[in-house]
Amino acid sequence: MLPKFFTNNLLSNLLNTAIVLVAILLIYLLIYTIFIRKIKIEKSKHRVRVRFTYFIVILALFLVAKIWVSGFTNLFYGLSFVSAGLVVTNKESIMNFVGSIIIRWRGLFAEGDYIQLDKYSGFVHELGVMYFRIFEVSETSLNRSSGRMIKVPNGLVINNPVINYSLQNNVIEYKQSWIVTPDSDIRAAKQIITDQMKAIVFQFYAEHEGYTRRMVKKNCRHLSRLIDLEIHIKSQIRFDKPSGVELLASYYCYPRDKDNLDEAMRLAVLKALNESDVVKM
């Protein structure tokens, strides 16, 4: 038969735990109904909901632990030593678990996003507690998958930069390389490449309000001073095969448009260079 003190203490802790959990549930429902549900952007709503859920869970665990620790101090002292041993022997698993919290709390990426992390890049398929799965991106197109699925440990987000192309509101610089013979008219080659690439970009973004300096400045005021939306070409001598003069052209576009723009530019520039009498490739 259990001691009377132990029984009373157990019942009291159970009652207090139930009260705390009910109160926290009511707070969660109230805040979700008043604030979170009214957020119109789905990804922002998901990010806020996840962060608030983590906060509520941590708060509940803290309050419940405080209730039970006061009655079982010695037991929790023993569990603390066991936990310390588990931390040492399961460092990788703990880092993966912490990584999953960081992914959700910071909203680094969600299912369906195209990301690049360490040497891995692809579309996020599924988020897990220890790992997340991505469909590897195709080598020929950023908008396609190779079909291979990669299981990536969550812990990589702790010490590695994460690039989420699906959340990019700003234009990104991309490059094309062209090689012409040394006896070609380099100035003419640069002008041909610039004119063709400008024409393609202008035509592609003619009705796009976001491809302006004003919108770039709106998205990031500091970044706008470093981006001019112009075509820039740098020339350099190339000794490796194929040798010649390499013309490296850079341009800005949104990540989702890169494939279409890149293909259209290559076809237009290639045609114009082949038709030129002063440029040889």
Find out whether 247 and 177 touch, Cβ atoms under 8 Å.
yes
- pLDDT per position as a tens digit, 32-90: 888 888 777 776 777 778 778 888 888 888 888 777 776 555 555 656 666 666 556 66
The pLDDT of residue 108 is: 84
- pLDDT per position as a tens digit, 185-222: 889 989 999 899 999 988 888 877 777 777 766 666 66
* Token output for 119: 């040497």
Band (pLDDT 50/70/90 cuts) for residue 168 is low
Question: 201, 197, 225, 200: which is closest to 211 by C-alpha?
Answer: 201
Separation CA 53–CA 65 (nearest Å): 18
The pLDDT of residue 1 is: 47
* Token output for 231: 């075509």
Over residues 251-273, the mean pLDDT reads 87
Half-sphere CA count of 105, side-chain side, radius 13 A: 13
pLDDT at 19 over 60: yes
Find out whether 263 and 219 touch, Cβ atoms under 8 Å.
no
Separation CA 164–CA 124 (nearest Å): 10
Top pLDDT among 145 and 80 is at 145
Alpha helices in the chain (DSSP H): 4-34, 42-69, 73-89, 91-106, 156-159, 186-204, 213-219, 221-224, 258-275
Question: 161, 170, 164, 41: which is closest to 110 by C-alpha?
Answer: 164
Over pLDDT 90: what percentage of the chain? 8
β-bridge pairing 145-153 and 162-164: unpaired
pLDDT at 2 over 50: no
The pLDDT of residue 103 is: 87
* Token output for 102: 């960081």
pLDDT at 281 over 70: yes
Q: Which of 30-39, 208-217, 225-234, 260-269: highest mean pLDDT?
A: 260-269
Over residues 140-164, the mean pLDDT reads 84
Instruction: Report the mean per-residue pLDDT for the chain.
Output: 80
Q: Enumerate the β-bridge partners of residue 135.
A: 123, 149
Over residues 248-262, the mean pLDDT reads 86
Whole-structure pTM value: 0.58
